[in-house]
Structure 1
Amino acid sequence: MFPLRAASIDVGSNAIRLLVAEFLTPDAYKTIEEERVPVRLGHEVFLSGQLDAKTMDAAVGALRAFRNRIQALEVHRYRAVATSAVRESRNGRDFVERVQREADIHLEPITGSEEARLVNAAVRSRIPMESDAWVLVDLGGGSVEVSLVEDGESVWSESHTMGSVRLLEELQESGGDLKRFERLLTEYTNTLRMPKTARRGEIAGFAATGGNIETLARLGNAPSRGDGVSVLETAELRRKIKLLASLSPRQRTQKLGLRPDRADVILPAAMVYERLASLVGAKEILVPHVGLKEGVLLDLVEDLATHQAHEDRKEQEAFTGALTLGRRYQFDEPHAVHVAHLAASLFEQLEELHQLGEEDHRILTVAALLHDMGAFVSHSKHHKHSLYLISESEIPGFSPAEMLLAANVARYHRKAHPAPQHD
């Protein structure tokens, strides 16, 4: 199987990126080609709720060029994902279909929790997090994903609409008033349901990803640990915020050498990183110089190389994610775990009859763990409450369609069967 040439495409809110690499083993690769095209899909989406025609034209053109490079470089497998701009836009599905039709690329919009899972996989390839607790922050153009990793496992993750492009719009609407913008940031960060472990500062480290933090590390002359990870002191980040605030975007381009599409968003991005680092008491920020495109690539190759081990890990992640969600709604954990084990046993014993796969096993596990979660709202009709609570929640690694399926399995755990008149 190896060497294997693979590629990842990240269709973000501020740019579209391509990474092509050759893998000698599932976790060792050398970069063949890296490209970035500054297409700001998020700008119009965050104002009007949909992608505009001109920007879609530019995006399709960039993806068509990426497809040509993938073919020219004889890539064996690729995965293309889209983040907040596409998943939030009213015409996102039309865009995905157009990309398939005109660029011959299968584009997959992913949830914020799936984005966090993939970024975390990339970060763990650079920073060992096998013990203690770590906070990971990935700031894109349209959203920020904040995760808590304990003993190498992601135990909590939230996605919020605090991306750099979106926040730039907020800053511009405030007339550049930084005090007003800081109050807005406080409102945003106060909505984070961060575990007490992180809020009390009981963490081993704080890692951040995204093009803005990489640029800030360069501006702050952040030293490298020798493993490709830069260390940016939070105090130095505050000094850089003051410097950036004193310059216009044009001056940042002229004096600091920033690209125009980076110069305008870097100030609000820097303020988000600083606010989150301060929230958990981090005196330094580790910058691993990897992100979503590396995570997509590693996940793709791991899936190809070690399918069963990968499926087992995804099953465990689903189990952990469902437990975390259930605890948020004060579910009966011993009962839920017992039901999940019984359901798994029946699933495995009846495999020859139902011929369902690993994905179905994970969906059943989540449904079994959360089937009584609706009792948090009311014991009466709790199965119906479970339906909407599960369907409106996120679990890392699960698509919205998979969450909806798990929600319906939970909804019908009592006597009734699905019927046309059911909501």
Structure 2
Amino acid sequence: MSAIAVVDVGSNSIKVAIVDEQDRRELGRLTESVRLQQDVNPGDPLSAETQAAAAAAIGRLLDFARTKGATRFTVLGTSAVRECSNRQVFAETVRAVTGVPLTIVSGEVEARLAGSGVRTDPAYQAYANIMAFDLGGGSLEVTAIRGQHYVLARSFPLGSVRMTNGYLRGGAGVVDELDQASIRTHLMGVLQTIIPANAAENYLIIGAGGAFAAVALHLEAMGEPPVGGRLPVLRIRELRDRMCALDLDGRRKIPGIPADRADIMPAALITLCVLADLTGAESFHLSHYGVRHGMVELLLGPSGEHLLT
């Protein structure tokens, strides 16, 4: 058996997926919680401490991939990495620690990889038209695919860490109506002319990334595990209202919500509600596939050859 591992160095976490090269079956996945995009301007340099923590986490993920049979490795840097002013220094640090080069991708390529990854999810391969939202810490990737043709592939600086730092003062306090309205107005201003109205009538609406996964974990903890991967928008709105009414300590006590995401979940949930409003979706379909799986498709081909065109 020969396997390939792809590591996605994101703004809020670092993830690896290991895939069998022959049948493209996923052999394993693992996440390390390392926040690259701290409470600073996105373009500021990564501190030496953050670089060291991230490189060490990448090393552990690569070691995990080796236990699953991986012999080929790719490490991708996305939003926080491409924006930081010392990204080349960070790339050198990663290579020195792990022996694997860091490839930094553009926003458009990240969006296309995210869409291609969702397209490979076995749960949704039967659907001809999909619209996927991949919400990370630094950016939101929006893709619309008809068959294998990309109708839309864009990356926007609307990630949950970015929104929390920009509008919620770090996310420690209660999020009042004015704070919520500020985020919503900004999101609508950016996305309203991009996302087709009532897109849910023509596309299966898919959600990927940590915020969607956290909603699923919460529903499971409440005894309502998602059926068929469906995350009802009504439940997302209820969770938004509950989390916004609590301070950080209170949010950490909500069942199923990872403690390291409690600060950014209000901004994330506000974003999900805006996406539901724009698309007319009554639910999102959860996918754990994304940039990593899209990169596997690109490397193994031929189904990924269109990604960079």
TM-score (norm 1): 0.65
Q: Deviations over 1:195-220 (max 9, x none)?
A: 57x22444232111101111112323
Residue pairs, 1:167-206, within 5 angstroms:
167-173=163-169, 176-192=175-191, 194=193, 198-201=196-199, 202-206=201-205
Q: Point out where structure 1 has 5 or more consecutive residues left out of the alignment.
A: 318-396, 399-423
Query: Identity of paired residues, percent?
Result: 26
Distance 1:236 1:44, change over 3 A: closer
Letter in 1 for 2:159: G
**Quick check: 2:17–2:26 contact (8 Å CA) kept in 1?**
no
2 CA distance for matches of 1:123 and 1:310?
12
2 CA distance for matches of 1:282 and 1:268?
19
2 CA distance for matches of 1:181 and 1:144?
18
Letter in 2 for 1:128: Q
Distance 1:111 1:149, change over 3 A: same
Letter in 2 for 1:18: V
Distance 1:10 1:310, change over 3 A: closer
2 CA distance for matches of 1:264 and 1:106?
32
1 CA distance for matches of 2:130 and 2:3?
32
**TM superposition shift of 1:244:** 1.4
**TM superposition shift of 1:98:** 1.6
**Quick check: 2:214–2:258 contact (8 Å CA) kept in 1?**
no
2 CA distance for matches of 1:205 and 1:71?
35
Letter in 2 for 1:199: A
Distance 1:286 1:74, change over 3 A: closer
**Quick check: 2:183–2:270 contact (8 Å CA) kept in 1?**
no
| Aligned twin of 1:128 | 125
> Aligned with 1:105: secondary structure?
coil
Q: More strand per residue: 1 or 2? A: 2
Distance 1:116 1:231, change over 3 A: same
Q: More helix per residue: 1 or 2? A: 1
1 CA distance for matches of 2:8 and 2:14?
6
| Aligned twin of 1:223 | 226
TM-score (norm 2): 0.87
**Quick check: 2:208–2:286 contact (8 Å CA) kept in 1?**
yes
Q: Deviations over 1:141-177 (max 9, x none)?
A: 1000112222342111221111011111123339633
RMSD after superposition:
2.4
Q: Point out where structure 2 has 5 or more consecutive residues left out of the alignment.
A: none
Q: Structure 2 residue aligned with 1:49, among 24, 39, 44? A: 44
Distance 1:119 1:187, change over 3 A: same
**TM superposition shift of 1:16:** 1.1
Q: With CA pairs under 8 Å and 6+ residues apart, which has the higher RCO, 1 or 2?
A: 2
| Aligned twin of 1:116 | 111
> Aligned with 2:56: secondary structure?
helix
Is residue 210 of structure 2 the alignment partner of residue 211 of structure 1?
Answer: yes
Q: Structure 1 residue aligned with 2:60, among 56, 61, 65? A: 65
2 CA distance for matches of 1:137 and 1:93?
29
> Aligned with 1:63: secondary structure?
helix
Distance 1:71 1:215, change over 3 A: closer
Distance 1:48 1:178, change over 3 A: farther
> Aligned with 1:39: secondary structure?
coil
> Aligned with 2:162: secondary structure?
helix
Q: Deviations over 1:244-277 (max 9, x none)?
A: 1223332232341432211111121111111011
Is residue 17 of structure 2 the alignment partner of residue 19 of structure 1?
Answer: yes
> Aligned with 2:70: secondary structure?
coil
After TM superposition, the structure 1 stretch with the greater mean CA deviation from structure 2, 154-163 or 290-299, is 290-299
